[in-house]
Structure 1
């Protein structure tokens, strides 16, 4: 079992937290900024390495803030950097108020937040409230004190079934595969109680029925708000509350465990009382701080429950992320999303990739129906072409959009990583998720040369493909038609055009089969999802295209897998 690294620097102690300051003292004061924000996800261990140890860190992120500013995003979401044994890449937190030494210190976090604000960028941090690390002080004491310990009530400890308690308390399975229960060895050396972990055994689930858990997380929220963060992305936001009595699940499809079906451990109505309490805390702070929910639910209508006016601000749109490159399917999920969000007054959010799924440049390179975790490279040219078109479609929709680091470079998944370098815990469990998330987590390339293409001076914790030199920031900067320059141009146009960004509706236009066309005021977007060129009206002046088009006599020939932006306001 991984061990929590020791902290040698005094700057790592909680007392080193800087004094409270305004989170937006140097960020442009724009009301409702989050309704049309483009938020860039940084996976810290794979973004930039400042000290040459092969692992990205907070100082590395800080050094690249000018790049993110110039890219044109509004905010940066940081995946976990807390003190952790790293059994699940930091989503197993041992201390929510400390920075893991592999990423730096609290002083580094403070400097990053301050510099981001100076560059006009907001900072959103990951919060992991469903479970802790098994190295968290509460859990270690719960084990050491044995059955009956008050600390065990803060988790889900239960006696086992069977004559000698040798069977798990119920039939729940881990998202990572295998039973969701692990039996402990008691202080006297005998087999004892079982504890619940919906993910890895190193990630015991909190019992949110216990008041101490709620008290602790309200304190954690204030700690980071006082540090100056602008919001929180809530990991497994749908999982905190379990059905009373922890009833058996019965027969089910393992693939539905992520929340695509009704489950006794996900999307229970009790989670909403927690978030209403949290919202009152957030609203005490100036600067429009926000909550973003990672909530896997059976329907987009259930997702909308998380973003009612007195709860969270945004929720990831996983139904959209999982949609194939197909006009009818895309239109259906767009309509359902806008219709579900409109009654609660929340913005829609759109996302194509993140640290848990195959990058969309690879997903779209493969035949439909393979899901969001894919093991083959597919047709690289086709995948990139569709990814570029899908990006312009996403950025044209009303609401907020999320960009995962490296997608602006057109990076594919690395599907041929050697088994010996893999670190995804789901890979070693042998069931459940495919365990191939490492492929989307390979450190991104910054330069054409160097041991890690500019990621750092000491190589990278996951090997980068040799062909990534020409996908680097250096290779694409200033190159007309490159994916990086397409993103930069799209984000500039999105900020400049009055009809892009916030809103809650699109006006669909008549279009050929396989083509999406919609109007938003003086803006028109056309996305051809077919494998053939199509002819559409030329709706005005071309703002941007994912591939070159031809216009003659008031018509436009839009190539296969291409999206076009027009402005009609000139």
Structure 2
């Protein structure tokens, strides 16, 4: 019997460890807290959990500045705590995916400290991208690249002898120096890190900035100004260079060496690659490279029927061309939660909202949640794999009124507040409405303040309540698994109004018709069909209202 690998239709749940559950009352989530709350995920019906970084780190970028890739930061616990978490997850039938951050280290990593202490030209500096400056005395940076967190991507050193010296590249914060992946020592080190965690039983890796490790030879200037997040990365010398694919072929061979023949035990690699166009992204999931790559084009597509149909069709075609499943996502720790993002007027073209602050135009919370529920109903029917961000199953909105003195995202500081940053989607999750910190921990401490409305969205207020967002997710995930929708084939349906997204997904378990009304006029459901799941209560009237979606059978 041929085994279809688990990852081809898996639903994977992202946990941001700082914000999931706090076991000791210090206001910061930790590994024991995650372990204690894992039954929630088993009941929800996901297949795996992805943990954002928990490694030793000064936490300048919430753990994405790694000082030791082989240990747990004390704020999150110990290696023994990680081992207990992995065992507990596996006992519940949940696989464990961990982050790896290969583009850069922390400035407190022993390698970078050694580089600072070494003279220009020494091997210690060859691990990073140190360059002499331009101008009469090297006072100007080596090129015009800008940091994704604001400001220029270069910082000049004061050399050990006290003189102004070389510059080092950091595509993100100054505390995150980029590694030089032309150095074989870097490749060997990261491969060893993969094996370290695979030996501890992890089931795969999500690769941070997967499109960024290799830079264009010579580090030429770029002619793209401002936010390049929706620009074709093939035009940019710091992103999506051909050399990254050689790295991933090596990593794939390592991952495959840990699989067990005859068992559904593949260890997987998933890319966080903000890459356009779709053809370029598909190169990351060729058969000898990565297993998955987040579909950010889908995440940025507005809630408009024509736009969504085009994105879905194109995405499925590009993945199929390389024999890979498509990987869908609507929210994560770097973007505005879709329950708020969809609460704004929707305009054609890819959209990415950098953040929402108290002085920003505020989203319509009612419309946003209604659209978010419908969007999830669409996404979880699509063939392929899907990722769910912590708290979206509760309908959590973005925390849009955080005070400036509470913000911790380095983007906010580096831009002088011009960019609100990503803190709003990272606020700790509520668990019990009437408890301190809404049950996040045993105290009332919370590293980011929780909005008052989070209390009413806690699981103890939604579990077993018909029509709640939590029960909607549980229904969708159960039906998706039973009907094997992730392994199905999609066929578009005609004959509906232009604002209605209509398709059928056919799997070995049968067919499900999905209708989503993105217009303002209610649509009558086909006669004789049974409602399998719906984003709102439409059973009595059999009308699909504005911003509602439904699964039908028959």
TM over 0.5, shorter chain: yes
- Report if aligned partners of 1:316, 1:350 keep a CA contact under 8 Å in 2: yes
User: Shift of the alpha carbon at 1:432?
Assistant: 10
- 1:324-378, Cα deviation, whole Å (9 max, x unpaired): 1110000000000011011111000110000000000000111235633342431
Please state if 1:564 is matched with 2:550: yes
Counterpart selection for 2:538 from 549, 556, 559: 549
CA distance in 1, matches of 2:309, 2:417: 30
Aligned equivalent of 2:439: 454
- Report if aligned partners of 1:132, 1:203 keep a CA contact under 8 Å in 2: yes
1:488-503 → structure 2 map (5 Å cutoff): 488-498=474-484, 500-503=485-488
Aligned equivalent of 1:466: 452
Please state if 1:122 is matched with 2:95: yes
Aligned equivalent of 1:23: none
- 1:55-94, Cα deviation, whole Å (9 max, x unpaired): 0001100001111000000000000000000110100000
CA distance in 1, matches of 2:311, 2:282: 14
Please state if 1:321 is matched with 2:310: no
Counterpart selection for 1:215 from 188, 199, 203: 188
SS state of the match for residue 452, structure 1? helix
CA distance in 1, matches of 2:231, 2:267: 27
Aligned equivalent of 2:526: 537
Please state if 1:299 is matched with 2:288: no
SS state of the match for residue 453, structure 1? helix
- Report if aligned partners of 1:353, 1:360 keep a CA contact under 8 Å in 2: yes
Q: Quickly say closer, same or farther: Cα 1:418–1:96, change in 2 above 3 A.
A: same
Q: Quickly say closer, same or farther: Cα 1:291–1:431, change in 2 above 3 A.
A: farther
Counterpart selection for 1:242 from 208, 212, 215: 215
Please state if 1:331 is matched with 2:304: no
User: Shift of the alpha carbon at 1:507?
Assistant: 3.6
**TM-score normalized by the length of structure 2:** 0.94
Aligned equivalent of 1:135: 108
- 1:18-75, Cα deviation, whole Å (9 max, x unpaired): xxxxxxxxxxx97411011000000000000001100000110000111100000000
SS state of the match for residue 380, structure 2? helix
- Report if aligned partners of 2:355, 2:424 keep a CA contact under 8 Å in 1: no
Please state if 1:399 is matched with 2:388: no
Please state if 1:43 is matched with 2:32: no
- 1:297-344, Cα deviation, whole Å (9 max, x unpaired): 121111000000000000000000001111000000000001101111
Unmatched 5+ stretches in structure 1: 1-28
- 1:100-120, Cα deviation, whole Å (9 max, x unpaired): 000000011111111100000
Counterpart selection for 2:76 from 103, 121, 133: 103
CA distance in 2, matches of 1:88, 1:260: 26
- Report if aligned partners of 2:304, 2:346 keep a CA contact under 8 Å in 1: no
Aligned equivalent of 1:478: 464
Once the two structures are overlaid, the 10-residue window that deviates more, 304-313 or 442-451, is 442-451
SS state of the match for residue 257, structure 2? coil
1:134-283 → structure 2 map (5 Å cutoff): 134-250=107-223, 252-257=224-229, 260-261=232-233, 262-283=235-256
- 1:458-510, Cα deviation, whole Å (9 max, x unpaired): 22100011122110011111111000010011111111124x11245434343
CA distance in 2, matches of 1:415, 1:567: 39
CA distance in 2, matches of 1:131, 1:539: 57
**TM-score normalized by the length of structure 1:** 0.92
Q: Quickly say closer, same or farther: Cα 1:346–1:527, change in 2 above 3 A.
A: same
CA RMSD of aligned residues (A): 1.6
Aligned equivalent of 1:380: 365
- Report if aligned partners of 1:178, 1:432 keep a CA contact under 8 Å in 2: no
Q: Quickly say closer, same or farther: Cα 1:393–1:266, change in 2 above 3 A.
A: same
Please state if 1:523 is matched with 2:512: yes
User: Shift of the alpha carbon at 1:151?
Assistant: 1.2
Unmatched 5+ stretches in structure 2: 260-264
SS state of the match for residue 292, structure 1? strand
- Report if aligned partners of 2:467, 2:537 keep a CA contact under 8 Å in 1: no
CA distance in 2, matches of 1:319, 1:117: 32
User: Shift of the alpha carbon at 1:520?
Assistant: 1.7
SS state of the match for residue 189, structure 1? coil
Aligned equivalent of 1:288: 266
SS state of the match for residue 564, structure 1? strand
User: Shift of the alpha carbon at 1:134?
Assistant: 0.4
- Report if aligned partners of 1:516, 1:528 keep a CA contact under 8 Å in 2: yes
Aligned equivalent of 1:367: 345
